[in-house]
Structure 1
Amino acid sequence: AFRGNDGNLVTYTTAGTNLTRNGTALASDVTALTFAYLRRSGAAAGSAAEIWNVDITLTVSRSGETQAFRIRAHPRGFQSASCG
């Protein structure tokens, strides 16, 4: 969970095979959801203060077909030059 730009709490969860954001369904047939928190160098972050990027992987399976979607996000406001 984290706080959005408006200060409201945002939570992503999986319930069965549904992905939800604050209880609202975003996707179905989800078989995996992972978040990897990275330093600027690409190494795993050891603390929240070190996070520079977030790798998100979402895997969906339907009718015997499986597809993984991956994105790297750099959250707004992460501008510390000391992360690395």
Structure 2
Amino acid sequence: MKTSFEKSDEVDNEKFLKLCDRLSAFLLKTRKRNLALALQGDDDFSNELTGEDFATFEQDLTSGMQLTPYDQLRIQARVRNFLKSSN
């Protein structure tokens, strides 16, 4: 039988994991977009790269891109601080 403390830990762990996943996904998406925008260029031909063409360019360019272990540690530290302050 679980004590109330163990149930609380389980809920906190679930919150922690969900927040880490959400922040990781947001950071990765933002980095991919910023990289694609930076490498798009600003010459005459770059203006033609819009909408679906840009989305394809971004997807192909950033395929396999991942966050570093340092990024993950920073995200986890921020989530811990957030959860501490919300309790």
TM range (shorter): under 0.3
TM-score w.r.t. the length of structure 1 is 0.25
TM-score w.r.t. the length of structure 2 is 0.24
* Structure with larger Rg: 2
Higher strand share: 1
Using CA pairs under 8 Å that are at least 6 residues apart, name the structure with larger relative contact order, 1 or 2.
2
Higher helix share: 2
